[in-house]
Amino acid sequence: MDNFNKLLDQYKTQYLKFLNSGDDSAKTAYQKAYEAIESLLSEKQQAVLSEKRNLAHFTKSYQQSNQDLQDVSSGAEDLMRNAQDIHDDYKTAKNRYDDWTANPPPIENQIDVSVGYAILLRIGILLILLPVLLYAGYKVPDLAGSSFTRSLLGPYSGTPGSPYIRNFPSTPRAWGW
């Protein structure tokens, strides 16, 4: 600050000297003093802006840290408020566990055996019927021309390989209606 005051006084005296005398050396002296004042002011302005940025950064970090601290504090207050409930829940669970370990419930058969028997029965029926059905499917085309199938199918039976032959009368009276 003393340097600034000295430069300001030098500027005033040289400027007044230039105005009174018109001396060019006084003019260059007050211009140099003016430039020194401007450079000093710009340095101070840069220092102020730097401090302002530092303060803004500090304020931002303080707000963030303060918010984190408030969150931790509110969490601690919640724990203190709920401490009795938490303790009661813990004691209840511990007593229940101790009772269970001292006298565990009887272990019952978890699998119902009848379900297994029902599954085995269905598989057995399928295994018995599958060969019979395959054999019948293999033999039925051979039986189409026999008298057994003719009597079984009635007028709809025909010779094998001729599905479009009508082997029945066209009148319903012949059908037995």
Give residue 116's pLDDT. 86
Residue 111 maps to a domain: no
Residue 155 maps to a domain: no
How many CB atoms are located within 10 Å of the residue 138 CB?
A: 9
Q: CA-to-CA distance for 97 and 104, rounded, in angstroms?
A: 10
Are the C-beta atoms of residues 105 and 96 closer than 8 Å to each other? no
Residue 143 maps to a domain: no
Residue 52 maps to a domain: yes
Are the C-beta atoms of residues 157 and 150 closer than 8 Å to each other? yes
- What element of type H or E holds 65? helix 24-81
Give me the helices (H) in 82-170, please: 83-102, 113-143, 147-153
Using the predicted structure, report yes or no on whether residue 4 has a pLDDT greater than 90: no
Which of 89-93, 94-98, 102-106 is the least confident region?
Answer: 102-106
Give residue 9's pLDDT. 86
Report the candidate in 30, 25, 36, 28 with the shortest Cα–Cα distance to residue 3: 36
Residue 133 maps to a domain: no
Per the structure, the count of domains in the chain is 1
Report the candidate in 39, 44, 66 with the shortest Cα–Cα distance to residue 52: 44
Residue 162 maps to a domain: no
Residue 141 maps to a domain: no
What confidence tens digit (pLDDT) does each residue in 128-143 have?
999 988 888 777 666 5
* Average pLDDT score over residue span 71-89: 86
Residue 115 maps to a domain: no
User: Residue 110 to residues 9, 117, 150: CA-CA distances in angstroms?
Assistant: 104, 15, 56
Give residue 27's pLDDT. 84
Greatest mean pLDDT range, 7-16, 33-42, 74-83: 33-42
Are the C-beta atoms of residues 156 and 168 closer than 8 Å to each other? yes
Higher-pLDDT residue of 103 and 93 is 93
User: Residue 137 to residues 22, 26, 81, 116, 129: CA-CA distances in angstroms?
Assistant: 134, 130, 80, 31, 12
Residue with tokens 């003719």: 150
Using the predicted structure, report yes or no on whether residue 76 has a pLDDT greater than 70: yes
Supply the range of the domain harboring residue 27: 1-102
Using the predicted structure, report yes or no on whether residue 154 has a pLDDT greater than 80: no
